[in-house]
Amino acid sequence: MSTIKVMKSFAQPLVDNSNANVDTIVSIKNLVKRRSAGNEVFELHVPKFSIQRGTFVAIVGESGCGKSTLLDMLGLVLKPTSANVFHFKGDAGEGLVDVMDIWRSANERELARLRREHIGYVLQTGGLLPFLTIKKNAQLVSRLKGLRHTDEKINRLAQQLGIAKKNNQYGNHDTNKQSQQDNGISIDIMEKKPAKVSGGQRQRAAILRALASQPDVIIADEPTAAVDKRRAVQIVSIFKQLALSENASVVMVTHDTELVGKTAENNSAIADVTYKFKLEYPAENVTKSICYAVGENNG
Amino acid sequence: MAKRENRQGFVVLGLALRDLWHERILSLNVILALAAIIAPLLIVLGLKEGLINHLRDNLIEDPVNREIRPQTTQDIPENWFEQVRSRDDVAFVVPGILRGASIVRAYGSDGEQSKIVDLLPSGNGDPLLVDNGTDFPAIGEVVISTPLAKGLGFCVNDTPCESALGVEIRLRVTRTSDGQPEFVEQMMQIAGVLGLRGDSLDRIYAPLQFVLDVESYKEGKSVLHRGWPGKQPQPYPSYDGVFILAEETISPIERSELTISTGFSTLKQISHAEFEADYGFSPPEDFQLLKLGVLKTAVQSGSIRQVANKLRGKRVLILPYVNPFEILLEDESRHIATGYTVSEQQAQNFGLPWVDWDGLDLNPAYQSFTKILLTRNSDPQSKISQLAAVQSLDQIVRFPIEIAGKAPGKLALVPINLAGMLRTGVDRRIEYSELGQALLLGRLGFRGYRIYAKTIDDVPAIAESLRADGFQTINKAQQIIGLQQFSAGLDRIFFLVALVGIIGGVAALVASLYAAVQRKQRDISVMRLIGLSPGEVSRFPIYQGLTTALMSTAVACGVLYAVGIVINRALADRLSGDPAVYLKPDLMLVIMLLVLTAAFCSSLFAAFKTTRIEPAEALRDE
């Protein structure tokens, strides 16, 4: 296995993550996904893509540009048509995984294992199992991964996300750890089922579920599409904060450039790296979308 | 890895159960729908089991249902009973005698009141007695029916009648001999009182031998071992033919006359050498020698008289003979013997040797004719008087015989009278009575029987096999076959009902589980997304199917229990307390396993469907 070239430019250490190692979790070179529907051919080209540990990667684009397709491939649920390099490296000393190899051998179990152990998911409307309470949803992923004694951690994260009361029955010990931010939400929704809570709460719960399995990467697909702008900013910013404090990277797809870029409230952008798409039409009925990194962040 | 597998399996089981609970109204719907199919099946099966068991127990419990009796009186040879007894499906058989041939007068406990009662033979293990809770009568004992016990005052109010046990009962056997009434009496101990179900008439069950003794006495015979006086029927002599020694020629016409209504059927002239070979001597050469014989049935003295009549006026000697037979002596020497007797006069007249033993008297003294001439000089060590053994039907008759000397030919010789009696023993049983010091004619087989099959299911086969042998029987085969058919019919009905039910249940479950998977496509894809493999999520509908089926069966069992109480209460009187609806626990277990198997199969379609759900579907929202 060739060593993965660390792309320094994307690996800016963060202020609150100063001790994080600079290592690459996902590394992609010359990935192509071809889709055709009738006469129409759509090609997504990703010449270079990588996710560094402890970074917030934004994938921004209009609908139809292939951002969700890219996310599916990053989330290990969609097989790329081809790729020169598609490596995945989790922690726990597992070493490099050649994702293309697994796809070629159609090893569903191995893909499931990688998803279970390394990836967390936050979907547009949460993607929580409706028949489990928020708490059970969060516990489910940690149980699937085989983690033990995670209740306290889940409770702490939930408090930080503002969906569990502080010093409530979930806290076995009063740790006196204050969440950095008080979101002013004092409702405890941990014992509720997803259908019984508001959209914003559900997205916070989804973030909780994604964090609960202590993943390397969290894949988030328009996680704030269903909430208003003000709450979306709040949610994304606490999402980033918690993810980075848990040493997890975030890949978030959004069509909303403002959400991840610089805002009036935030003088620094949420995204450490932003990828965008450029559409080309090399032939009739052929759409080619090229994904590229935008180096405007963190400035 | 296996541990991880297990954990994932438990997680899926937990998810499946939580989802059922989450959609509890829908789940309840399906559970009740399935229960509505399973419950009637259980009730029908329970009814079938309960009712059939009740009817069956009833039939089994009362030995009368296993009894096979003759429809008409028939002569049944003794060895037939051995044959029946050796059958695997026969539990007990006892011979019977003519109804009324063993009637006795039984006297009550006060010695005065008496009743005329029929005696029935019984014996060791008689199910009629044993299965009705009574001992069978041993030698010197009888079992009496309840009406008789009450009628004679052996017991008054006690039921079961226990005060009669061990008490002696006086039985008087009467007969008329030469116009004069005679009787003998016998004391027997009451070994048991047969309940009303076993017999509702005045009746005494006694060991077979006693019944036969009573029969013999009533027929005028003596029963020596009981000291009952009477005649001793000796075996009549019978013959296989006669030799005719004629001084003058018997014409062909006269010859042919000899086989006309005399009982003889063959006639041939034989050579003197032939005669001599057997007997060791022969009449003078100038005598014509004819042999009159039978094909099968032996002739008796009447036939010989008729031949004598036809040859009246001629100078002939009619010499009866029997076919050579085997005789075994006490010293284990085996001899082939025939009979030979001539008077001293005849010996002189016809030039034959005279043996000094009985003539052809009708009732010679035993010692005068039980003699034998052996073909070789008797061993000087051997006793003069020995026991001889001869086959009579299926038994061996042993009787004392005196070795009287050496026979001249190659056959041993006994007096023709003895040979004739032993020849009769080929067709009828003869026995030697030590008490009477006489060969006696045995009884002519039996006139009836009581057979008990091992189980009621054996009755039809035994009855059918007896019918094939020419014995028309009275038995409960019709009822038993009826029950068997009823049971088989119910089996078929149940099978059909079950088939329809199972098809319906499986269809309902298949549809419900498939629809659920369809509905939960997104949830299942989320499960796939968060790291469950296709194999793992496929268990989701399987667990749900099994759980639903299990709950449905539980509900159905509850319904069965409730309905069972109602039905059992309603039918309690008719079934004398036996449950009408009843399922054995092991049958319940089998049903449970069947239901689970059906549920498992039903969920496979839905399970397959889950494996087709892609995790990417979860990401592609609405």
Please give the C-alpha separations between residue B291 and each of A165, A227, B421, in angstroms, as whole numbers: 131, 133, 21
Q: Which residue of B has its CA nearest to A121?
A: B530
Would the pLDDT of A6 be above 50? no
| Bridging pattern class, strands B448-453 and B90-96 | antiparallel
Residue A63, pLDDT score: 81
The residue among A15 and A245 whose pLDDT is bigger is A245
Radius of gyration over every alpha carbon of chain B, rounded to an integer in angstroms: 42
The answer to whether B264 and B299 have CB atoms below 8 angstroms apart is: yes
Mean pLDDT, residues B71-86 taken together? 85
**What strand order describes the sheet that includes B90-96?**
B90-96, B448-453, B67-70, B473-475
CB contact under 8 A, A72 and B616: yes
Q: Which residue of A has its CA nearest to B536?
A: A109
Mean pLDDT, residues B248-273 taken together? 87
Mean pLDDT, residues B484-510 taken together? 86
Handedness of CA A283, A284, A290, A294 (dihedral sign): positive
CB contact under 8 A, B621 and A140: no
pLDDT mean across residues, chain B: 86
Residue A174, pLDDT score: 41
Would the pLDDT of A90 be above 80? no
| Residue from A267, A259, A206, A215 nearest A237 by CA | A259
Closest CB to A109 among B523, B530, B533: B533
- Which of A140, A196, A251 best tests the B interface by mutation, with the highest count of B CBs <10 A? A140
CB contact under 8 A, A129 and B622: no
The residues near B149 (Cβ < 8 Å, ≥ 6 apart) are: B155, B161, B164, B190, B193
Would the pLDDT of B19 be above 70? yes
Q: Which residue of A has its CA nearest to B4?
A: A146
Band of pLDDT at residue A265, cut at 50, 70 and 90: low
| Residue from B551, B567, B544 nearest B18 by CA | B544
The domain total for chain A is: 1
Residue B507, pLDDT score: 92
Does residue A3 lie within any of the structural domains?
A: no
- Domain holding A266, by residue range, is 8-294
Provide the 8-state DSSP code for B174: E
Contacts 24+ apart (CB under 8 A), A233-239: A233/A259, A233/A263, A233/A265, A233/A266, A234/A183, A235/A200, A235/A203, A235/A204, A235/A207, A236/A260, A236/A270, A237/A266, A237/A270, A238/A160, A238/A161, A238/A162, A238/A181, A238/A183, A238/A204, A238/A207, A239/A122, A239/A207
CB contact under 8 A, B533 and A108: yes
| Residue from B85, B101, B78, B93 nearest B430 by CA | B78
Paired residues of B293 in beta bridges: B241, B266
pLDDT mean across residues, chain A: 81
Mean pLDDT, residues B435-454 taken together? 85
For B254-292, what is the HEC assignment? HHHHCCCCCCCCEEEECCHHHHHHHHCCCCCCCCEEEEE
Residue B362, pLDDT score: 54
CB contact under 8 A, A125 and B622: yes
Mean pLDDT, residues B382-406 taken together? 83
ipTM: 0.83
The residues near B356 (Cβ < 8 Å, ≥ 6 apart) are: none
Does residue A80 lie within any of the structural domains?
A: yes
Mean pLDDT, residues A56-82 taken together? 90
Q: Hey, is B430 helix, strand or coil?
A: strand
For chain A, what is the HEC assignment? CCCCCCCHHHCCCCHHHCCCCCCEEEEEEEEEEEEEECCEEEEEEEEEEEEECCCEEEEECCCCCCHHHHHHHHCCCCCCCECCEEEEECCCCCCEEEHHHHHHCCCHHHHHHHHHHHEEEEECCECCCCCCCHHHHHHHHHHHHCCCCCHHHHHHHHHHHCCCCCCCCCCCCCCCCCCCCCCCCCCCCCCCCHHHCCHHHHHHHHHHHHHHCCCCEEEEECCCCCCCHHHHHHHHHHHHHHHHHCCCEEEEEECCHHHHCCCCCCCCCCCCEEEEEEEEEEECCEEEEEEEEECCCCC
CB contact under 8 A, A123 and B621: yes
Would the pLDDT of B313 be above 50? yes
For residue B567, the Cα-to-chain-centroid distance in whole angstroms is 40
To the nearest whole angstrom, how far is the Cα of A266 from the nearest Cα of chain B? Answer: 29
Q: Which residue of B has its CA nearest to A212?
A: B530
Burial class (CB in 10 A: 0-12, 13-18, 19+), B287: buried
Residue A43, pLDDT score: 93
Mean pLDDT, residues B579-584 taken together? 80
Closest CB to B531 among A123, A136, A144: A144
The answer to whether B40 and B501 have CB atoms below 8 angstroms apart is: yes
To the nearest whole angstrom, how far is the Cα of A157 from the nearest Cα of chain B? Answer: 19
Residue A1, pLDDT score: 40
- Which of A67, A123, A148, A193 best tests the B interface by mutation, with the highest count of B CBs <10 A? A123
Residue A209, pLDDT score: 92
- What are B445-462's pLDDT values in tens digits? 788 889 999 888 888 899
Mean pLDDT, residues B153-175 taken together? 83
CB contact under 8 A, B529 and A68: no
Place of tokens 């759409």: A287
Which chain B residues are within 8 Å of A146, Cβ to Cβ? 4, 7
Handedness of CA A200, A205, A211, A217 (dihedral sign): negative
| Residue from B603, B621, B619 nearest B528 by CA | B619
| Bridging pattern class, strands B238-239 and B141-145 | unpaired
- Which of B15, B529, B532 best tests the A interface by mutation, with the highest count of A CBs <10 A? B529
- What are A20-54's pLDDT values in tens digits? 345 889 999 999 999 988 888 999 999 999 999 88
| Bridging pattern class, strands A96-98 and B241-246 | unpaired
Residue A10, pLDDT score: 39
Give me the DSSP letters along B566-605: HHHHHHTTTTTT--SS---HHHHHHHHHHHHHHHHHHHHH
Which chain A residues are within 8 Å of B21, Cβ to Cβ? 131
Does residue A299 lie within any of the structural domains?
A: no
Assigned token pair, A109: 């179990």
By mean pLDDT, which of A264-268, B123-127, B146-150, B292-296 is the weakest? A264-268
Mean pLDDT, residues A77-103 taken together? 86
Q: Which residue of B has its CA nearest to A139?
A: B11
Residue B32, pLDDT score: 94
Residue B552, pLDDT score: 94
Would the pLDDT of A181 be above 60? no
Band of pLDDT at residue B273, cut at 50, 70 and 90: confident
Does residue A77 lie within any of the structural domains?
A: yes
| Bridging pattern class, strands A249-254 and A56-60 | parallel
Mean pLDDT, residues B131-145 taken together? 89
Share of chain B above pLDDT 90, in %: 24
The residue among B161 and A12 whose pLDDT is bigger is B161
Would the pLDDT of B2 be above 60? no
Band of pLDDT at residue B3, cut at 50, 70 and 90: low
Domain boundaries, chain B: 2-60+479-619, 70-229+445-474, 238-441
By mean pLDDT, which of B107-121, B263-277, B338-352, B608-622 is the weakest? B608-622
Band of pLDDT at residue A93, cut at 50, 70 and 90: low
Band of pLDDT at residue A180, cut at 50, 70 and 90: very low
The residue among B29 and B356 whose pLDDT is bigger is B29
The answer to whether B104 and B204 have CB atoms below 8 angstroms apart is: yes
Mean pLDDT, residues B491-514 taken together? 88
Mean pLDDT, residues B206-218 taken together? 91
The answer to whether B299 and B239 have CB atoms below 8 angstroms apart is: yes
| Residue from B5, B142, B68 nearest B455 by CA | B68
In degrees to the nearest 10, what's the CA dihedral of B26, B30, B32, B34?
A: 180
Band of pLDDT at residue B387, cut at 50, 70 and 90: confident
Phi-psi region of B613 (alpha: psi -120 to 50; beta: other; left: phi over 0): beta
